[in-house]
Amino acid sequence: MTDHSAPDTFAQRVLRWFDQHGRKHLPWQQNQTPYRVWVSEIMLQQTQVATVLDYYERFMARFPDVATLATAAQDEVLHLWTGLGYYSRARNLHRCAQTVVEHHQGQFPVDDVDAMCALPGIGRSTAGAIIALSTGQRATILDGNVKRVLTRYHAIEGWPAQPKIERQLWAKAEAHTPDSRVGDYTQAMMDLGATLCTRRRPTCTCCPLQMDCAAYHQGLVDQLPTPKPKKTIPERSTCMPLVTLPDGHVLLKQRPAEGIWGGLWSLPEFESSAEMHHWLAWKWATAPAQALSRVSHTFTHFKLQIHPWLAPLNVSGQPTTTEGWRWYHPQKPDSIGLAAPVKKLLESLHQPQQLSLTESE
DNA sequence: AAGGCGTGGGC
DNA sequence: TGCCCAAGCCT
């Protein structure tokens, strides 16, 4: 005989809510193979679902399986990542595919959390998500959604990324993870955080955890999770010449493999306009370059003021380039990764009305 | 342990 | 405009 007086567990309430209100039609929820789940989890790191949708479809169409990805050129992988940001994700994704093919017979080691965590770009939470979602084996995640739900449910104060707080959260997350329906539970926790337990204006009235949510009862919902301590970011400035040929090709330079925009193609950079003019005169003997209006680009840890300059070349044919340099035609784009503001600048080249000149630097 | 690492959106 | 954030990982 069933014990009707037994109270629902945390997981049971979350799962019941999921059955009625959870998301079940996202592209990566169909045919949940380790590969498909993995690609989605990497794309979704620090990135919202709405942004990922188009990237995911294009990526899966071009790289339907791990073997195809493993043999691709890095330029092409970065091409399909252009605009998504955090490009180490793409570089690690590519390396990870090669590792899976070479050392795991083309199969993700989903029966071994530690082996999953050892793969490039896969940390503890992503490993848990891939295992739970693609195999249903018991595994725990602790992503931004779960952190938000748990800091509120348990009224845990302190910035969640702080190691001491994160340890507490992992313990809670592990404790709540059920033994069955782990895949649904994992998706449910992310859905709860993404649709109800949101950063601003959470919908507590619809929440299956409201009855014993500590933050709700203590009136702390709006204070949690504790925000990241803010720091002022420095500002940098750079000059970027658009060295163009009469046929529309533009000179690009590849970024170093590591660091900001690692492996992407960008415009040449100079710390000052004097340095840039010197280089232009020495290398290309162009007519005086013309300043375009400044472009401001904010990264996580610094703000960049880009000073683009128009530097047309009067030569026929394409001057030869060396390793790490190439001529690129915005109307016949190659499959290479481009930094977002560079891509926009190149697109503005053939939109004369958007190409604003300026007298000052 | 704290900082590097992108971009677009909401307000 | 500026600020804060959004399914983290790596060193």
Residues 6+ apart with CB under 8 A from A348: A354, A355
**H-helix or E-strand containing A163?**
helix A163-176
**H-helix or E-strand containing A241?**
strand A235-244
Q: Which nucleotide is nearest to A145 (CA to C1')?
A: C7
Domain A235-354 class?
alpha beta
Asked whether A119 and A96 are in contact (CB, 8 A), the reply is: yes
- Residue A159 CA to B1 C1' — how many Å? 14
Chain C positions within 7 A of any protein Cβ atom are 1-10
User: How far lies A216's CA from each of A8, A169, A204, A226, in Å?
Assistant: 19, 18, 8, 15
Q: Which nucleotide is nearest to A187 (CA to C1')?
A: C7
Residue at minimum CA to C1' distance from nucleotide B5: A86
Neighbours of A325 (CB within 10 A): 14
Neighbours of A19 (CB within 10 A): 11
Classify A337 as helix, strand or coil: coil
Classify A138 as helix, strand or coil: coil
pLDDT of residue A288: 87
Residue at minimum CA to C1' distance from nucleotide B2: A162
- Residue A96 CA to B4 C1' — how many Å? 21
- Residue A301 CA to B3 C1' — how many Å? 9
Q: Which nucleotide is nearest to A338 (CA to C1')?
A: B6
Which residues surround strand C, with CB < 7 Å? A 23, 26, 28, 40-41, 44-49, 86, 88, 92, 117, 119-127, 129, 143-145, 148, 161, 190-191, 193-194, 198-199, 227-228, 230, 296, 298, 300
pLDDT of residue A361: 38
Asked whether A69 and A93 are in contact (CB, 8 A), the reply is: yes
pLDDT of residue A2: 53
Chain B positions within 7 A of any protein Cβ atom are 1-9, 11
Q: How many CA atoms does the CB half-sphere of A127 hold within 13 Å?
A: 17
pLDDT in tens, chain A (361 residues): 455 667 799 999 999 999 999 999 999 999 999 999 999 999 999 999 999 999 999 999 999 999 999 999 999 999 999 999 999 999 999 999 999 999 999 999 999 999 999 999 999 999 999 999 999 999 999 999 999 999 999 999 999 999 999 999 999 999 999 999 999 999 999 999 999 999 999 999 999 999 999 999 999 999 999 999 999 999 999 999 999 999 999 999 999 999 999 999 999 999 999 999 999 999 988 888 999 999 999 999 999 999 999 999 988 888 888 999 999 999 998 999 999 999 999 999 877 555 555 544 3
What DSSP assignment string belongs to A81-115? Answer: TTTT--THHHHHHHHHHHHHHHHSTTS--TT-HHH
- Residue A221 CA to C4 C1' — how many Å? 17
Pair of tokens at residue A338: 């481009």
Q: Which nucleotide is nearest to A123 (CA to C1')?
A: C9
CA A142 and chain centroid, separation? 17
Residue at minimum CA to C1' distance from nucleotide B7: A85
- Residue A94 CA to B11 C1' — how many Å? 37
Pair of tokens at residue A123: 């940390």
Residues 6+ apart with CB under 8 A from A182: A132, A136, A137, A138, A139
- Residue A277 CA to B1 C1' — how many Å? 43
Asked whether A280 and A241 are in contact (CB, 8 A), the reply is: yes
What DSSP assignment string belongs to A189-238? Answer: HHHIIIIIS-SSS--GGG-TTGGG-HHHHHT-GGG-SPPPPP-PPPEEEE
Q: Which residue has the tokens 């779960």?
A: A146
- Residue A13 CA to C10 C1' — how many Å? 36
Cα(A185)–Cα(A18) distance, rounded to whole angstroms? 8
Annotate A266-299 with b (16+ C-beta within 10 A) or e (fewer): bbbebeebeebbebbeeebebeebebbeebebee
Q: Which nucleotide is nearest to A48 (CA to C1')?
A: C6
pLDDT of residue A285: 84
Q: Is A41 in the active site?
A: yes
Is A10-223 assigned to CATH 1.10.3720.10?
no
What residue ranges do the domains of chain A occupy?
Answer: 10-223, 235-354
